[in-house]
Amino acid sequence: MLLLIVMFHIFAGAIALLTGYAVICLQKGTTSHKYLGRVYVVAMLILGLTGTYIAVIRDVPISMLNGLVLCYFVLSSINVVWQKPNHTNIMDKLLFLLATMLTTAFAWYSYQTTQVTGGQLGGFGIQAYLVFGSVMAISMIADFRYLKRGGLAKNSRLARHLWRMFFPLFMSTAAFFLGQAKHLPESMQRIELLLIPVILVILSGVYWLIKVNKKSFIAAKLY
- Total domains in the chain come to 1
> pLDDT tens digits for 51-70?
999 999 999 999 999 999 99
Predicted local distance difference test score (pLDDT) of residue 216: 52
Angle between the N-to-C axes of helices 154-177 and 31-58, in degrees from 0 to 180, rounded to the nearest 10 = 50
Provide mean pLDDT across the span 164-171.
93
Q: What is the dihedral of CA 108, 113, 114, 118, to 10 degrees?
A: 170
Provide mean pLDDT across the span 191-215.
80
In which band, very low, low, confident or very high, does the pLDDT at 19 lie, cut at 50, 70 and 90? very high
Predicted local distance difference test score (pLDDT) of residue 96: 97
Residue of higher predicted confidence among 2 and 13: 13
Q: Which of 110-114, 120-124, 140-144 has the lowest mean pLDDT?
A: 120-124
Note whether residue 91 is domain-resident. Answer: yes
As a whole number of angstroms, the distance between CA 24 and CA 3 comes to 32
Note whether residue 125 is domain-resident. Answer: yes
Provide mean pLDDT across the span 165-171.
93
> pLDDT tens digits for 143-163?
999 999 998 887 888 889 989
Q: Which of 80-84, 125-129, 183-187 has the lowest mean pLDDT?
A: 183-187
Looking at the chain, the whole-number percentage of residues with pLDDT higher than 70 is 90
Provide mean pLDDT across the span 83-103.
94
Range of the domain at 202: 60-220
Answer whether residue 121 shows pLDDT above 80.
Answer: yes
Note whether residue 41 is domain-resident. Answer: no
Note whether residue 117 is domain-resident. Answer: yes
As a whole number of angstroms, the distance between CA 83 and CA 171 comes to 26
Note whether residue 40 is domain-resident. Answer: no
Note whether residue 68 is domain-resident. Answer: yes
Highest mean pLDDT among 27-41, 65-79, 111-125, 161-175: 65-79
Provide mean pLDDT across the span 128-156.
93
Predicted local distance difference test score (pLDDT) of residue 181: 60
Contact 75, 119 (CB under 8 A): no
